[in-house]
Amino acid sequence: MKVLIIGAGNMGKTYARSFLASRFIDANDLYILERSTGSVAGIKEIPQGNIHPQAGEFIAQADIIILSVKPQDFPTLGRHIMPYVKNTQLILSIMAGIKIAAIYEAIGATKIVRAMPNLPAQIGMGMTVFTSSADIDKKELFIMQNLINTTGKSVYVEDENKIDAATAISGSGPAYVYYFMEAMIQAGVKMGFTLSQAELLVNQTFMGAVHLHNQSDLTCEEWIARVASKGGTTEAALKVMKENTVESNIESALFAAFNRAKELGN
C-alpha cells in the first residue's frame, strides 16, 4: 500500500513518523509532496526519490493521499493535483474547515475521510475525530482508522458538522489546558515557589489527575467531591470559581471556538 502525504508541516511529518514507527507503512511506500523539500530532511528513512517538490504522475500511483496543507493553500493545490487523482484512491484530509464537498469539487475524488487531529498526535497520544463520504466502504474505513490510530485514539462521527465541534473541544483543547496550567504556575510563583518548582507541581498534578481519572469509573464530579472536603482548601477554591462563573465562561469560550470553526468552513 502506497501512501502520499501532501504537505510536510508539523502534522504531515507527525503522520509520516507515526506510520514508520508503527511499521504500518514501509519507508519505500511512503511519498511526500512538499515545495520546501528541506523540511522533510529530518525523516531520513524516506528515500530521496520519494520526496517531490511539485505534482506529477507519482500522485496517481498512491493508494492513499493525505492532505496536510493549510486550508488557504488548498485551492491552488487542488488545481495542481486534480489531473492525477483517481476515484479509486482514498483521501484523508486534516485541513481545518475544508468540507468533504469542497474537496470533491476541487479534485474530483469521492472516497474522502475528513479528520481533526490535535497536537499530542506528535507523541502518539493524539485525539482525532473523523467522518467520511458515502463512497467509502467499511473495509476502507477500517484501513483509514488504523492509519489515524497510529497517532493516538479516534472517534468516528456520521455528521460532518461534528468536526467543527471536535475542533473546539479536542483540536483547540490542548491550548486550554496549557492556559490553565500557566495560570496555576504563575500563582505558584507568587506563593513563593521557584518557576521550576511551580512547573513541576503543576505538571505532575495534571498528569496524575488524568491518569487517576482514566483508571477508574468515577466521573469528574465524583472525583471533585473526593478531593473537596467540607470547609477545606479545595472547597474554598471551588467557591471562588463558582462565584466567578468559571464553568460558564469555559463553555462560552468553547462555543466561540465552535462558531469560528463553522465560519471557517463556510
144-181 pLDDT, tens digit each: 999 999 999 999 999 999 999 999 999 999 999 999 99
Return the minimum-mean-pLDDT range out of 25-29, 38-42, 153-157: 38-42
> Is residue 166, in this structure, part of any structural domain at all?
no
| CB-CB neighbours of 177 under 10 Å | 12
Q: Which of 159, 189, 211 is the last residue of a domain?
A: 159
Structural domain boundaries, residue 254: 173-265
**In Å, how far are 87, 94, 177, 248 from 68, measured between CA atoms?**
19, 6, 25, 34
Q: What is the pLDDT of residue 10?
A: 87
Mean per-residue pLDDT, 132-137: 96
Does position 42 have pLDDT exceeding 70, yes or no?
A: no
Q: What is the pLDDT of residue 97?
A: 84
Residues 150 and 185 in one domain: no
Does position 266 have pLDDT exceeding 80, yes or no?
A: no
Q: What is the pLDDT of residue 41?
A: 67
Does position 139 have pLDDT exceeding 90, yes or no?
A: yes
> Is residue 165, in this structure, part of any structural domain at all?
no
**In Å, how far are 138, 208, 214, 215 from 211, measured between CA atoms?**
33, 5, 5, 6
Q: How confident is the model at residue 37 (pLDDT cuts 50, 70, 90)?
A: low
In degrees and rounded to multiples of 5, residue 154 shows phi and psi of: -145, 160
> Is residue 111, in this structure, part of any structural domain at all?
yes
Spatial distance between the Cα atoms of 170 and 96, rounded to a whole number of angstroms: 13
Number of domains comprising the chain: 2
Per-residue pLDDT tens for 228-254? 999 999 999 999 999 999 999 999 999
Spatial distance between the Cα atoms of 203 and 101, rounded to a whole number of angstroms: 42
Residues 177 and 153 in one domain: no
CATH number at residue 194: 1.10.3730.10
Indicate the length of the chain as a whole number.
Answer: 266
Cell of 220: 469528574
Q: Is the pTM of this model over 0.85?
A: yes
CATH number at residue 83: 3.40.50.720
Residues 155 and 182 in one domain: no
Residues 104 and 212 in one domain: no
Does position 190 have pLDDT exceeding 80, yes or no?
A: yes
